[in-house]
Structure formats: structure tokens, C-alpha cells
A and B are shown apart, each in its own frame.
Chain A
Amino acid sequence: MEEKIDYIKLASNKPKGKRPYFHDDPAVERVLNITMAVAGELAVMRERMDSIERLLEKKGVVTREDIETFVPETKEQEEQRQTWHAEYIGRVLRIVQQEQEELENPDKSLEEIANDINEM
């Protein structure tokens, strides 16, 4: 068994069981999911900014200009930043990945599964 796993792709896997769609046009569902993921990441960033601002206020060590002019200083920092972007995109575009997985491995609907399970 592999020890190294592609955790970014795996984290956005679809669960087994056909995905329900509630809007008449699945495109609406798709865009809503992407929008909510972006909304989530904006909330995360807002909380992070709040942490930073409170810490700066408390310690008074970093100026606004330090932040404005900062660029990655090491290869490691560059990779950390790019990994963050890759994770972010995997998160926001989760539904597109899951629809591809459904195409590759179609599932039964949950109504059908409920009937199957009732016989198990």
C-alpha cells in the first residue's frame, strides 16, 4: 500500500451514492457550491487577518509596509505558498472533481440503495 498519498485530490473525493441535485439546472448547483467554497475561504482569511491584527496590536512588531513588500524568501516558502493555492483550488472546485468521479464510477440513487439495504 502507498505511504505517500495525494491528499489534496483525495480530500475532495466524492462519497459513494449518487449526488442529489435540487435545482432544475445542475449548473446552478455547481456554481452555488463553488461560490460557497469561496465564501468559506474568505471567512477563513477574515479570521486569519483578525488573528494577525490582534497580535500586531498586542506586540507592535510588524508594520503595514513590511507586509506590503513581503515576497517569499526561500524555496520552502515558495512551495508552501503554492501548496496553499493548490489546496484552495481543490477545495473550491470540489464539485467538478466529484462529478468527474461520478462519470467514471456511476452510483445508484439513494432511494435505490435504501430499497437494497432494506433487503440486507
Chain B
Amino acid sequence: MSVRNLPPVYNKIAQHAVFPEMNHDERARYNFLANLNKHLAHVSTGNKVAFENRVEPKFEKEHGRKIASTEELKQAISKDAHYQVWSSLRRSTMEMRQQAGRSIVLRQAAELRDKVKALNEGKDSLILDESVKVPPYLLACDNHIMPGSYHTELIEDDVTPAANYDTGLFVTTAGLLGRYSDGGGKAIVSWVRKTYPDFNPKRILDIGCGMGHNVLPIAKAFPNAEVIGIDTGAPMLRYANARAVDLGITNVKFMQMDAAKTTFEDESFDWVQSTMFFHETGGKSIYKIMDEVYRVLKPGGLTLHIEQPQYTDDMSLFEKFIRDWDALYNNEPYWSKMHDIEPVDLMKSSGFREEDFMQIGAKAENDLDDGSQKADEPEDHGRSPIWNVFGAIKN
């Protein structure tokens, strides 16, 4: 076994008909960036050392007391040379990943649009609605520092935001979500099958589906179910539908809709799912969305939400601070606020009962895992494929 924990080479990523064409150097650029991400995940453990050996003692000497809040910790650590260079390199790496992805997809924007169009032609599984507005929380800043975010169209019927997302997820996660970046969807399918072997959903809703990478394993696992993915980003939905068509998944529809105000009937779904979605919403919208989840879910129906790990009382200030790094510096701002909400309270506010609430841990299923992913790999905060899943059965 290799002592090095190397990311998979980029050419291991799964291809499909609308996957952007990539040349040799573009793959090489992504190989460099995946390795740089891995490297920085290891270097990030140095932040803790710098904090404990340098930042904390200095603060205590100057103030005669311990650091009392993450805000004080942030002020103190921001002057530390190791933290400065690590943060600077990490931000730079993320910007380079966006630049690399966009330079691949924008040069072939029209070709990608035409390929997607050809696959979507005559299909009733893509339902766009121009009257759907992009929610203000997505317009406030570009999430994941993706210029133009999920919705901006540079050409008519643009799909490049989704194509860029599709190429890059493999790089930022160092391939840990598998060849189709669907490790989250696969993990939830396995858990549901194991926990509820008799569960036979007829209608499934995935909210904030993006390019559909996590809803496809669900649709595949329940081929007799009608599966619907909703999102507000038209470029994402066009691409998602074409991708699903090419991958031969026929029981999934993609509809342009705001999860806070869907047009579905009351009690019309057996399962409502979201994957890494809520932390990209907003402080008031999150309650409206959960109300909507409750409304459309049938009695006895299941809802599950894969999210970032919650902060716990026994977590150190440093741990909380470093987990927030991506929130502020990789533009996922609501993540820095959402940890103040207890998932159980969020669900109770919409009508779910406390005794029906559940919270589990899930790890991405990775079809590339050859045993080289070590358990003692340092956690790359915000990139780690280990999540908190919360949900409930509606009663």
C-alpha cells in the first residue's frame, strides 16, 4: 500500500454525452489543483498547532484571560503568519479551480448548449418556468466563488454554470464523491434501504437538485417511483435533464421552482430529500422551505436532509472557527449562521413532532475507493464527505 494518499487522476471521472470536452492540459491543470487541495488539507492541521502554540499564549499574555469567542479568535489568528499563508493559498486554489473550469466550459459554451438542447428536444421531463425568480440569498454573492453562480446565462440557453460545476466537484473533493460525484445520493439510498427495507415510495421530491448528481442514484434505486428535482437555476436544470437522459434514467423530471413556494399539491410526496442545500439558503427562507417540505409530504412520508455537521457544545472555539472558514472565504455565507439553528427546532417549527425527528451520520459512497483512503486522513473542513443527516417521518 502506498504511504501517500493521492487523489485519483482526473481521467477517472465518468463521462457522459454533455460532459465538456477536455484536452490534455486541462486535465493536467485539474490534477495539479486536486493535489494542491489535498496538500492544503494536510497543511491545515498546522493552523491548530499555530493556534495552540502561538496565538492562544500570546492572547492570554496580553489580555490576562482566555479567548472568549470565535470573533476574538478570528482577530487573534488573522495576525498569525501560518494562518495567513494557508488561507491565502486556499482561497487562491479555489479561485484557480473556478478559472480552470470556466476556461474549459466557456470556450465551448455554444457547443455544450447545442448538445444539451438536442438531448432535451421533445422530452417532457424538463419544465422551465421563466417566472421563477432566483432567491435573493443566491443573488447576494456567488456561492463557492463561482463567478455568475448557478443562474447567470452568458449565451441564450446557457448551460456552462452546470458544466463547470460538473467538471470541478471531482477536483475540490479530490474524487471522494466518486466518478459521478453522486456519493451523497448513493449513501442516502443505502441508508434508507437498510433502515426501511419495506419503504416503497411512489413519488419523490429532491429540493435544490442542481445538476441532479445526487437525485439520479435515488431515481435509479426506485425505478417505479416518479422522481422530481427542483431548482431555481435554469442552466442547472437544462444540463441535469440532458445528463439524466444520456445516463438512461427515465423516471426523473426537472422543474424550475423555488423550494419555498412550490406548486405541488398538499401531501403529494412519499419522500422529500435535500443534499447539501439548506446551508446555501437564508435565515428566513429556511423556515419557509421546511414548511413547504411538511406541506407536500404525505402522512407517513419520509424527509431527509444531508447537511454540514452541526456545531456541538463540546466543540472547541478553534474547531468552530475553522469550520466557518469556507462559509466566509469560499462564499457560503449562510453556513456561518445556520449552525445557530438546531435542526430539530427547524423541523418542529414546521409541524414535525420531536419524537419523529432523527439525526444520523453519513459518509459518501465512493466507487473509486481502492482502500487508499485512510481513516486517519485529516478532515478537510467543509470538503470532507462525512455529513450530518437530519429528518423525520411525518405523523
Q: Is the interface of A mostly helix, strand, loop or mixed?
A: helix
Interface string of B149-162 (1 = CB under 8 A from A): 10001111000000
Whether the Cβ atoms of A40 and B96 lie closer than 8 Å is yes
Interface segment out of the listed A59-67, A69-77, A105-113: A105-113
Knowing A11-B102, A114-B334, A118-B282 touch, does A32 contact B89 (C-beta < 8 A)? yes
Knowing A11-B103, A40-B33 touch, does A48 contact B88 (C-beta < 8 A)? no
Query: Is B31 in contact with chain A by the CB < 8 A criterion?
Result: yes
In the complex, which residues of chain A have a beta carbon less than 8 angstroms from the beta carbon of B102? 7, 10-13
Knowing A51-B24, A119-B284, A120-B283 touch, does A2 contact B155 (C-beta < 8 A)? yes
Whether the Cβ atoms of B141 and A17 lie closer than 8 Å is yes
Report which of A3, A20, A36, A95 forms a contact with B89, defined as CB distance below 8 A.
Answer: A36
Query: Is B140 in contact with chain A by the CB < 8 A criterion?
Result: yes
Knowing A22-B87, A113-B140 touch, does A118 contact B283 (C-beta < 8 A)? yes
Whether the Cβ atoms of A12 and B282 lie closer than 8 Å is no
Whether the Cβ atoms of A16 and B106 lie closer than 8 Å is no
In the complex, which residues of chain B have a beta carbon less than 8 angstroms from the beta carbon of A119? 282-284
Chain A nearest CB from B23 CB (Å) reads: 10
Interface string of B309-346 (1 = CB under 8 A from A): 00000000000000000011101011011000000000
Knowing A10-B154, A20-B329, A40-B29 touch, does A117 contact B334 (C-beta < 8 A)? yes
Chain A, 1-39, CB within 8 A of any chain B CB: 1-3, 5, 7-8, 10-17, 19-24, 28-29, 32-33, 36-37
Query: Is B107 in contact with chain A by the CB < 8 A criterion?
Result: yes
Knowing A17-B142, A117-B140 touch, does A11 contact B99 (C-beta < 8 A)? yes
Chain B nearest CB from A42 CB (Å) reads: 9
Whether the Cβ atoms of B96 and A120 lie closer than 8 Å is no
Look across to chain A and name the residue whose beta carbon is closest to the beta carbon of B333: A114
In the complex, which residues of chain B have a beta carbon less than 8 angstroms from the beta carbon of A12? 99, 102-103
Residue among B107, B141, B283, B336 having the largest count of chain A Cβ atoms under 10 Å: B141
Distance, CA A15 to CA B31, complexed state (A)? 23
Whether the Cβ atoms of A110 and B331 lie closer than 8 Å is yes
Knowing A11-B103, A36-B92 touch, does A117 contact B283 (C-beta < 8 A)? yes
Whether the Cβ atoms of B106 and A120 lie closer than 8 Å is no
Query: Is B371 in contact with chain A by the CB < 8 A criterion?
Result: no
Query: Is A78 in contact with chain B by the CB < 8 A criterion?
Result: no
Whether the Cβ atoms of B25 and A5 lie closer than 8 Å is no
Interface string of B252-287 (1 = CB under 8 A from A): 000000000000000000000000000000111100
Knowing A15-B331, A120-B135 touch, does A7 contact B283 (C-beta < 8 A)? no
Whether the Cβ atoms of B31 and A110 lie closer than 8 Å is no
Query: Is A57 in contact with chain B by the CB < 8 A criterion?
Result: no
In the complex, which residues of chain A have a beta carbon less than 8 angstroms from the beta carbon of B225? none
Look across to chain A and name the residue whose beta carbon is closest to the beta carbon of B101: A11
Query: Is B5 in contact with chain A by the CB < 8 A criterion?
Result: no
Knowing A16-B141, A20-B329 touch, does A5 contact B106 (C-beta < 8 A)? yes
Report which of A43, A114, A118, A120 forms a contact with B32, defined as CB distance below 8 A.
Answer: A43
Query: Is B110 in contact with chain A by the CB < 8 A criterion?
Result: yes
Knowing A7-B106, A113-B333, A117-B333 touch, does A16 contact B149 (C-beta < 8 A)? yes
Knowing A1-B156, A5-B154, A117-B283 touch, does A13 contact B33 (C-beta < 8 A)? no
Whether the Cβ atoms of A7 and B284 lie closer than 8 Å is no
Query: Is A53 in contact with chain B by the CB < 8 A criterion?
Result: no
Knowing A118-B282, A118-B283 touch, does A33 contact B28 (C-beta < 8 A)? no
Whether the Cβ atoms of B145 and A17 lie closer than 8 Å is yes
Query: Is A116 in contact with chain B by the CB < 8 A criterion?
Result: yes
Whether the Cβ atoms of A113 and B141 lie closer than 8 Å is yes
In the complex, which residues of chain A have a beta carbon less than 8 angstroms from the beta carbon of B29? 40-41, 43-44
Whether the Cβ atoms of B110 and A3 lie closer than 8 Å is yes
Look across to chain A and name the residue whose beta carbon is closest to the beta carbon of B71: A111
Report which of B109, B155, B328, B334 forms a contact with A20, defined as CB distance below 8 A.
Answer: B328
Whether the Cβ atoms of B84 and A15 lie closer than 8 Å is no
Knowing A36-B93, A47-B31 touch, does A110 contact B329 (C-beta < 8 A)? yes
In the complex, which residues of chain B have a beta carbon less than 8 angstroms from the beta carbon of A87? 103
In the complex, which residues of chain A have a beta carbon less than 8 angstroms from the beta carbon of B145? 15, 17
Look across to chain A and name the residue whose beta carbon is closest to the beta carbon of B32: A43
Binding site for B on A (CB under 8 A): 1-3, 5, 7-8, 10-17, 19-24, 28-29, 32-33, 36-37, 40-41, 43-44, 47-48, 51, 87, 90-91, 94-95, 98, 107-108, 110-111, 113-114, 116-120
Please list the 4 inter-chain residue pairs (A to B) with the smallest Cβ-Cβ separation, ordered nearest first: A17-B141, A120-B282, A118-B283, A15-B142
